Each structure stands twice: as structure tokens, then as C-alpha cells.
Structure 1
């Protein structure tokens, strides 16, 4: 009973966190601007980084845009930016404006302001129904009945397909992610014996995997590094000095960490997380079927053996993967996606 009470209380707290902040006013025609709502979270978050990038690119296209936070004066500081930011309480929304809302606010969508056109920026389609009880909602939840809903945006082919299937009456568009080549790029010609991974993903499976590898002696002589609490630049520096990156992606919207590791030239082994299948090209990396711990361990061991026998081959494969992801996920492709989408709304 105590556990149920704690779970219920935590759930209620999480729902409160995901409520839409109050805007200054609604009504009127508006200025034809685009406002991207984002949570007040100053910890590294790929999704929030993408929101800031969208706003920067829209402004470069001559489309006025701002990131909207709840707190006055809040700005993400874990990556360098001069992105226009404004507090919700200082924004007046009109019919010509567009309010872009992350899928994270799903439980609070009933509090959306009336007046602007609404776009749901769903960067994690597999989380769409988090905190949306089936028994308490109707068909099309959580997006059915949203006044002014114009479209959904997604960041991978996989998520576009899922959202189109789940919401057949709502237009769904792709806006590709960007791997910034000024941050995530190849390093020197050699790679230290380092294995790295993002520390907050699938911790139980990660522990099991590392136990297995250690018991077989696979990790002997390797530096094993968890990437956690690092800035974007610090993360890239670790990845550039990594020989093998372990991907623990799970039901992703895209899966930025393994893509960024590839851009830095690391040889990636592990789970594509469904959406990552579009860039996990066998031969340039070692994709593993989801939850197949034994296959994961074997693939890591094989990569370590290969590195010891022919390190240059693994480095060359990493460089080829880098060229591929940087070519597909570049700024100009996203700029084209944004121009195409917003030209139909503004």
C-alpha cells in the first residue's frame, strides 16, 4: 500500500511538471512568429538542444522565432548559444502565430492556449502515451480535440511512420536532426583503447554487459568511460578519443548519442533503438537486436579483438560512418525541412 501511495504521488508530481505554462495573453492576429515551448531543464538534453537549433535556423531564414521557457530569465547554459529566449508570461499569442509544443507536455495539453496554430514537436514517438491512461481517454488521445492543431513534427523516418499510423487524420512531417560538424568530428589518426557510453541509458543491462565482458577478460587494458553530466564539447572530446562506443538506445525518437559518436569516428556497437536503424549501417558499425545481451557481449568482444589485430581497419570504418552521418544530418538539410514545412503555415 505504501509503494502504491509513493508511486501515485510521484506520478502526480510528474504530471504537474508537464503542465503548459501560462502565457501573457491570447487573441488578436499575432505577429506571424513561431514559439517553441521548452522545459526549464539545464541538464544536457538532446531534445532541448534540437529546439534551440530549430529556432536559430528559422531566424536565419527570416522567420521570427523564439524559445519559450516558463521562468523569466531562464536559458540553457550547457551548450553555447545566443538563441532568442522569452518567458511564457511575456508572450501574447495570436491567430497568425505558431506554438510548437514538445510531446513531453502530453499530460498537460488540455491547458494549451486558444488562438495560435499548434504544432506538436514529437521527438520521442514511443513516449507519446506516457501518463495518458487508456481507460480515462478517448480515441486519438492525447492529440484529439486540440484546438488549432496543424501538424506533428518528428525527427526520424521510424517515428514519422509510427505517428502517421497512430494519428491518420493529422499531417506528420520530418525535420531531420543535425550533427554539428564543428563539435562532433574526427580527431587524430590514432584511437586510445577506450570504450565509452552514455551513462543514463539502460543501466541494468549495461551492468550485466560489463560484468560479462570483465569476467571474460575482454576489458583488460581498456579504459571504460561513462559519459554523464558533460557539456556538448566535453562529450565530443571523449567520443573523439574513443575506439568503441556502446549504444544502449531504447525506443528512440532518433538516438543522438550513437550518431554523435559515429560523427566523432568511434566504432559503434549496440542497440539502434528502432529509430536509429536509419544510420546503423551494418559493416560500418555492429547493430545488435534489442535486448539480446549475449549478442551484444559477443559483438563488443569481436570489436575489441579486431581493434587489437587491425586497429587501422576499425578506425577507417569509424571514419566512413562519420562521413555518412555528417552528410545526411547536416544543417542545410534541416534548413530545407524547416523552410518547406513552415512555408505552408506562415
Structure 2
């Protein structure tokens, strides 16, 4: 199994040694990150299978290598629903990850700084283990997504499962789980609209206008879409594909 960023280099090594290989693509926009077009093409040409983990990555691969479409295989990731779940009592907390598009997040926070109600606070998610992230997301009500060309950005899914409104960028791949009501898309770089949307949703929540029942329904949808059972089915299908080869 070869990672897409190192496919050109490692595929050549594998071919020289007579080793069959699969390229696992976790980011459709990272295919050419470490090598030129010709060497990358050769790596994909000789791969037994090409696997990916989102609709967007699949579409990117079919666009780049239509002649290899028959050996492009979609897998499914799972998210721990028993870990990422809403707390019994939510707090007026807005969470975000500073490592994602730091310039954008800083601008958004500066734009809303003087308009944010005193009853709300902003909490950056950083330097935490998975349990700490889950606990923080479980208490917050709004998560700000600064995803940028993601293969499949998991933090917005985890935040949604933890009962958050998600506001921000889809990162392209996020469009497959960006369900109405709970997710609110902002075009990348539209800082003013991002800020206005945050303040608008805070007002709705404070005035009791927000429908949290709809969020519960969305959580069930996401749990089914990113379940361990679905991930396992995909892996079994992958084994069947390899047996055919």
C-alpha cells in the first residue's frame, strides 16, 4: 500500500523488485505534490488498484486517469460515534482549529470580536489528544470549519456528531456530508459572510429559534454514513477485488 504523495518514488522501487502495489489516495489534490506528471502517471498505470476515501477524491482520480477508472475503488472511513456525541448540557462555546488556514481564522475572529455577545466564548482546539477534542466538541454549540482542499475532512464530521452547528469551508470533499440545517457553507476567503453567519446563528440560538431536533436527525444520518460496518464492507470488497486480480 503506497501513499499518494510518494507514489512515483515508491511505485518505481516496487516495480524494480517485482512487488505488486496499491496506491491509497487520501487527498485528490496531493497527487502531484512530490513528483512530476509523467512519473506520477507511470505509478498509477502499473498499480493493481487505486483506493480513495471520498466522493471528491474519486472524481479527481477519474478526471486525471479516466483510462484507469475500472481499478479505482472507493473505501469508507468510520468515525467513533461513541466518542463524538453531544454533552447532556451544551455551553455557549465556539470551537475551531487554529492549524487550519490560520490567516483566515484570525481574520474571522477579529471581525466578530466586538460583536460577540459576552455570554459566548471562543475556544481553540489545539495540543489535545482525541479524547480532549471529543470532550471539547461535545460541550460546544458551533464549530468553525477552515478546511482547505481536504481528502475528507474529519473534524467537521466529528463536530457535527457532537451536536455542533458547522459553519465554514467544505474543503471540497466535505460536500458529501454537508447536510442542510446543521452545516452552513461559506465560500473560501469570504471572511465577511463567514462572520455574519456566525453572528446570525448565535442570535438564532440565543432567541430559541434553532431546531436542535433536526441536528439529532442529521447525527443519525452521519452515523450511518460513516459507520464501522460500512468501512468493513468496503475492506471486504477490496479483498474481493484483489482476489479477482
Same fold (TM > 0.5): yes
For 2:93 and 2:106, locate their aligned partners in 1 and report how far apart those are by CA, in whole Å. 17
Q: Aligned match of 1:283 in 181, 184, 194? A: 181
Secondary structure at the aligned position of 2:29 is classed as: helix
TM-superposed CA distance for 1:193, in Å, is: 0.6
Structure 1: give runs of 5+ residues left out of the alignment: 1-99
TM-superposed CA distance for 1:105, in Å, is: 2.0
Q: Over residues 203-262 of structure 1, what are the superposed CA-to-partner deviations in whole Å (9 max), with x where a residue is unaligned?
A: 0010000000113x2253322111112111111111101110001111111110000101
Residue number in structure 2 paired with 1:175: 75
Residue number in structure 2 paired with 1:324: 221
User: Could you say if the C-alpha distance between residues 159 and 229 of structure 1 is closer, same or farther in structure 2, counting changes exceeding 3 Å?
Assistant: same
Residue number in structure 1 paired with 2:238: 341
User: Could you say if the C-alpha distance between residues 145 and 120 of structure 1 is closer, same or farther in structure 2, counting changes exceeding 3 Å?
Assistant: closer
Greater helix content: 2
Secondary structure at the aligned position of 1:224 is classed as: strand
Residue number in structure 2 paired with 1:102: 3
User: Could you say if the C-alpha distance between residues 230 and 332 of structure 1 is closer, same or farther in structure 2, counting changes exceeding 3 Å?
Assistant: same
CA RMSD of aligned residues (A): 1.9
Kept after mapping to 2: 8 A contact 1:249/1:273: yes
Residue number in structure 2 paired with 1:132: 35
Map 1:186-197 → 2, pairs under 5 A:
186-188=86-88, 190-197=89-96
For 1:110 and 1:345, locate their aligned partners in 2 and report how far apart those are by CA, in whole Å. 18
User: Could you say if the C-alpha distance between residues 268 and 181 of structure 1 is closer, same or farther in structure 2, counting changes exceeding 3 Å?
Assistant: same
Kept after mapping to 2: 8 A contact 1:106/1:130: no
Kept after mapping to 2: 8 A contact 1:306/1:314: no
Give the TM-score normalised by structure 1.
0.65
Higher RCO (CA-CA < 8 Å; seq separation 6+): 2
Secondary structure at the aligned position of 1:125 is classed as: coil
User: Could you say if the C-alpha distance between residues 177 and 145 of structure 1 is closer, same or farther in structure 2, counting changes exceeding 3 Å?
Assistant: closer
For 1:314 and 1:285, locate their aligned partners in 2 and report how far apart those are by CA, in whole Å. 13
| 1:112 corresponds to 2:13 | yes
Structure 2: give runs of 5+ residues left out of the alignment: none
| 1:202 corresponds to 2:105 | no
For 2:134 and 2:212, locate their aligned partners in 1 and report how far apart those are by CA, in whole Å. 17
Give the TM-score normalised by structure 2.
0.90
For 2:82 and 2:19, locate their aligned partners in 1 and report how far apart those are by CA, in whole Å. 36
| 1:227 corresponds to 2:125 | yes
User: Could you say if the C-alpha distance between residues 175 and 294 of structure 1 is closer, same or farther in structure 2, counting changes exceeding 3 Å?
Assistant: same
Corresponding pairs, count: 239
Map 1:262-273 → 2, pairs under 5 A:
262-273=160-171
For 1:303 and 1:223, locate their aligned partners in 2 and report how far apart those are by CA, in whole Å. 14
For 2:215 and 2:145, locate their aligned partners in 1 and report how far apart those are by CA, in whole Å. 14
For 2:57 and 2:211, locate their aligned partners in 1 and report how far apart those are by CA, in whole Å. 31
For 1:102 and 1:284, locate their aligned partners in 2 and report how far apart those are by CA, in whole Å. 33
Q: Over residues 288-307 of structure 1, what are the superposed CA-to-partner deviations in whole Å (9 max), with x where a residue is unaligned?
A: 12222222111111111111
For 1:219 and 1:236, locate their aligned partners in 2 and report how far apart those are by CA, in whole Å. 25
For 2:241 and 2:7, locate their aligned partners in 1 and report how far apart those are by CA, in whole Å. 25
Secondary structure at the aligned position of 1:246 is classed as: strand
Residue number in structure 2 paired with 1:308: 206
